[in-house]
């Protein structure tokens, strides 16, 4: 009796499979939203209509389940029915069973699927009996290798910063950003050489791996650039120890800003009073520190008054204004005299908003930095 019952169930299942067929169509790779899961063609070979619904699930080989949803109940007509992103009104309102937040954020941020091996499975289910009428799965791979684009220093430009920032676009083809790092490769271009040849044959002038994100500042301890020399550079995207892609090769020329303008420098120095950076009566000044999580200073206007102790005798240094998290809003240079220097920094040059925390940071030629966190509260008197 049990054997007969098993054969009867198998017979009924085979009849159902013959009556209903389902084919999954590859979803739009630009945005695998819930609507994209319903890309399918259903064929009802029976002589009657059925109240049914669709269960869909998308997975990735390493990440696992990404999206799972149940459509609304709909009446499946006889013959062929096709659903896609333009024709899924009868499936609304769908119930989202699961959605991976990191995956969603990547789609919103890049409007594309991250690299991976995907499987989309759709099951047609009869609402009243909850029987599976048909099922089909589709596997596909996304493997977009888009190299980072170099931004700064501009190709064939001339710069004079001793510690310039190297800037490139981040790699956005994966939602597991923790595995991605960057490697910068910089060589000196010798006379009668082209940039590509220099990259292939010349030793590293500066090479650094495992950079977490752009921008990357040329470090103070690295070899100084030579006046009049040209340099070629590119960036490699790494996933672990594996190279994913390389950027184009750009070049720049480094020129000492002070050479050739000595007369102007002397005249400017002669015009400066010896104690140019004096304290102004009535102003309150803040000392900088080297603690990342220091107290936040509240300012009543866009002016920051600071004290810099120049006992070592530096002639100049650069300062930067950062927003959170560490986006450079701007930079400038300060000329120093000996001992204590008092500065009033005009913050109007930076795009600052009231009641938001920013960081003002000074970098010394020794590589040491000092900073202060601040916000602007106009209501303060």
Q: Which of 27, 138, 135, 137 is nearest to 84 (CA)?
A: 27
Beta carbons of 317 and 360 less than 8 angstroms apart: no
Class of domain 150-254: mainly beta
- Whole-angstrom distance, CA of residue 359 vs CA of residue 321: 6
Same topology for domains 150-254 and 273-376, yes or no? Answer: yes
Q: Which of 206, 204, 236 is nearest to 219 (CA)?
A: 206
Q: Which of 31, 24, 23, 22 is nearest to 142 (CA)?
A: 31
Q: Which CATH number fits domain 18-142: 2.60.40.10, 3.40.50.300, 3.40.50.1260, 3.20.10.10?
A: 2.60.40.10
Place of tokens 């010394």: 364
SS3 235: strand
DSSP conformation class of 324 = T
Sequence spans of domains, the chain: 18-142, 150-254, 273-376
Q: Which CATH architecture has domain 273-376?
A: Sandwich (2.60)
One digit per residue, the tens of pLDDT, for the chain of length 381 reads 545 444 445 444 444 456 899 999 887 655 566 567 788 999 999 888 989 999 999 998 888 999 999 999 999 999 999 998 778 888 888 888 998 888 887 777 666 777 788 899 999 999 999 999 999 999 988 776 677 889 889 999 999 888 888 988 887 666 566 778 999 999 999 988 999 999 999 999 999 999 988 888 898 888 999 999 999 999 999 888 888 888 999 999 999 877 655 444 444 444 444 446 888 887 888 888 776 556 788 888 889 999 888 877 778 888 888 886 567 888 888 888 877 889 999 999 888 988 888 888 888 776 677 888 888 888 765
Distance spanning both ends of the chain, measured CA to CA: 93
- Phi and psi dihedrals of 101, rounded to 5? -65, -40
């Amino acid at each position: 009796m049990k054997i007969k019952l098993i054969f009867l169930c198998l017979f009924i299942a085979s009849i159902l499979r013959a009556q209903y067929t389902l084919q999954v169509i590859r979803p739009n790779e630009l945005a695998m939203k819930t609507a994209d899961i319903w890309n399918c063609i259903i064929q009802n070979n029976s002589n009657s209509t059925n109240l049914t619904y669709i269960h869909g699930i998308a997975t990735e080989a390493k990440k696992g389940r990404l999206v799972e949803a149940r459509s609304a109940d709909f009446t499946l007509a006889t013959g062929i029915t096709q659903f896609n992103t333009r024709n899924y009104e009868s499936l609304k309102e769908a119930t989202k069973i699961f959605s991976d937040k990191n995956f969603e954020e990547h789609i919103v941020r890049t409007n594309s699927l991250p690299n991976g091996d995907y499987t989309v499975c759709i099951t047609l289910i009869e609402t009243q009996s909850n029987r599976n009428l048909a099922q089909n799965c589709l596997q596909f791979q996304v493997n977009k290798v888009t190299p980072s684009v170099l931004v700064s220093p501009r190709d064939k430009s001339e710069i004079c910063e001793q510690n310039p920032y190297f800037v490139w676009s981040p790699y956005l083809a994966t939602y597991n950003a923790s595995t991605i790092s960057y490697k910068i490769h910089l060589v000196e271009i010798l006379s009668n050489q082209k940039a590509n040849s220099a990259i292939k044959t010349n030793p590293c002038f500066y090479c650094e791996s495992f950079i977490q994100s752009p921008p990357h500042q040329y470090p103070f301890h690295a070899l100084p650039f030579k006046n009049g020399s040209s340099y070629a550079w590119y960036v490699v995207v790494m996933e672990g120890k594996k190279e994913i892609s390389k950027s184009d090769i750009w070049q720049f020329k480094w020129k000492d800003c002070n050479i050739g303008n000595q007369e102007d420098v002397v005249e400017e120095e002669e015009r400066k009073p010896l104690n140019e950076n004096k304290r102004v009566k009535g102003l309150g000044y803040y000392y900088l520190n080297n603690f990342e999580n220091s107290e936040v200073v509240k300012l009543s206007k866009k002016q920051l008054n600071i004290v810099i102790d120049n006992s070592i005798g530096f002639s100049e240094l650069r300062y930067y204004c950062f927003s959170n998290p560490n986006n450079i809003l701007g930079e400038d240079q300060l000329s120093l005299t000996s001992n204590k220097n008092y500065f009033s920094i005009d913050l109007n040059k930076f795009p600052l908003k009231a009641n938001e925390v920013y960081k003002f940071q000074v970098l010394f030629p020794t590589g040491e930095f000092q900073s202060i966190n601040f916000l602007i509260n106009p209501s303060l008197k």
